[in-house]
Amino acid sequence: MAVWDKKVPWGFLLMLTGAVGVGVNYPAPVCAVTGSTVTLLCTFTPLRSVGQDGREVSTEIIRVVWCRNHQICQGSTPSVFDSSSGNNNPRYKYLGDKKGNCTLQITDVQKEDEATLHFRIEANDSRAHFTGQPGVNVTVSDGTRMQIKSSRGDRELRRGENVTLYCTALCTFHQLEVTWFRDGHALSESGPALHIIPLTARDSGTYTCGLKASVSSLSLPYSLKVEEEGSTVTLLCTFTPLKFFIQNGRAVLIEIIRVVWCQNDDYCQFPALSVYNSSSQNNNPRYKYLGDKKGNCTLQITDVQKEDEGSLRFRMEADYTRAHFTGPPGVNVTVSDVQMQINSSRGDGKLRRGETVTLYCTALCTFHQLEVTWYRDGHALSESGPALQLGPLTARDSGKYTCGLKTSSSSLSLPYSLKVKEEEKVAPLLIVRLVLFTLHSVLIVIAASIFIKR
């Protein structure tokens, strides 16, 4: 909608505006934080021509203005931007033009910027002047505490699932730019929505968010826990096939044409169900064959489930039936939900500075290719093996140690307390006293011996 100058006949204007649809498209009410930058996206449709002497004459926009808290925005009205002025507020930058874009950007937003802003155009014909209504309301906040909402009602999610966290506030901020944190560490995402797909155990943690322009807006922490359904295990395997057979007095090379892994079957041949078959396109996607048809039969199982528990056997088939074979006894796979425990190479957790100790992350089940995450006082360490070697020890090594399988957040061990005692330092004054006491004692002995001789 537009407000036209009073000297233009209203009946003519009503007819004209209804015909050509002139006006200004303002953004929705804007909420900004002190010190931030806000961009007011805006477009306008000017009057393209006016009637003069019985013909249409094109109009030209010669001036654009943004003013504050004034509906007409003309004459002596104070403006925040005026294309004809050289003294505009430097924090107000006009990103538009004189054709149809009236976008305005406000940098370093202050409380004084809170107002209703109107845009006005003036043309080379006063009949084309107008001020767009109703304007755009800008609200300025000194900062508000944000809050995190999840696309999922619960906070315990499983590996492979998706979740979106939303950084919101009572005030709907325009062009919201936020900083996301996980366990106090800033993430690269800057939008109001944090998409986490697909989830892994590494996504577990305490999330916070806040407006980039306001330190005081940091949200309360949001705890996200991802339950791992399974680990990844690699079954290292090699085989030695029959290389050739004798036919008509000469050696004929044998070619492997099919390799198969099956579960809980002694012979692993049709109609046995396979978990991997090189001749099939419908293999279990969690079973990946890392081997070949020459001598490597390594199999990898991802996202291990309870159903994977069993005896697995490898079978090869050749272009010569006598070269077919299934390798006994197979490999037994046990799937366990387990909590790890820490054992020490030293009986107790009290050690002295300079000594060494090895902590072992163990379980009742011996895990294949065990990859462990070690923690001291809740902070992850760089070591990833089942044995953590410490030494020579210093007081900094003191703390509560925990460990767990990298692929299972539920396997975290109970804490193991390690205390390193510093060597007791003898005070210099005490040393002086001991030396003086010793000398005094020697003098007494010498004096006594002299006296006895006399």
Question: Could you tell me the pLDDT band of residue 291, with boundaries at 50, 70 and 90?
Answer: very high
Domain ranges of the chain: 2-140, 147-227, 233-333, 341-421
Quick one: pLDDT at residue 155? 58
Q: Among residues 103, 98, 93, which one has the least CA distance to residue 41?
A: 103
Q: Which two tokens stand for residue 343?
A: 């054992």
pTM over 0.85: no
Quick one: pLDDT at residue 288? 93
For residue 229, pLDDT over 70 is answered with no
What are 235-273's pLDDT values in tens digits? 889 988 888 888 888 888 889 999 999 988 888 877 778
| Mean local confidence (pLDDT), 324-329 | 86
Quick one: pLDDT at residue 277? 92
Q: Among residues 135, 164, 111, which one has the least CA distance to residue 44?
A: 135
Question: Could you tell me the pLDDT band of residue 410, with boundaries at 50, 70 and 90?
Answer: low
Question: Could you tell me the pLDDT band of residue 290, with boundaries at 50, 70 and 90?
Answer: very high
What are 269-288's pLDDT values in tens digits? 777 788 999 988 888 899 99
| Cα torsion 326, 327, 329, 330: sign | negative
Determine contact, residues 355/344, Cβ cutoff 8 Å: no
Quick one: pLDDT at residue 151? 86
Determine contact, residues 210/219, Cβ cutoff 8 Å: yes
H helices within 278-341, ranges in order?
A: none
For residue 407, pLDDT over 70 is answered with no
Question: Does 341-421 match 233-333 at the fold level?
Answer: yes
| Class of 341-421 in CATH | mainly beta
If you average pLDDT over every residue of the chain, what do you get?
Answer: 81
Q: Among residues 118, 103, 177, which one has the least CA distance to residue 146?
A: 177
**CA separation for the pair 299, 138 (Å, rounded):** 62
Q: Among the ranges 214-218, 221-225, 396-400, which has the highest mean pLDDT value?
A: 396-400
Pick the CATH number of 147-227 from 3.40.50.970, 1.20.1420.20, 1.10.3190.10, 2.60.40.10: 2.60.40.10
What are 86-106's pLDDT values in tens digits? 889 999 999 999 999 999 999
For residue 330, pLDDT over 70 is answered with yes
What is the enclosing helix (H) or strand (E) of 15?
helix 10-20
Q: In CATH, what number does 2-140 get?
A: 2.60.40.10
| Mean local confidence (pLDDT), 423-440 | 70
3-state class of 35 per DSSP?
Answer: coil
Share of the chain above pLDDT 90, in %: 24
For residue 195, pLDDT over 60 is answered with yes
| CATH T-level assignment (fold) for domain 233-333 | Immunoglobulin-like (2.60.40)
Share of the chain above pLDDT 70, in %: 83
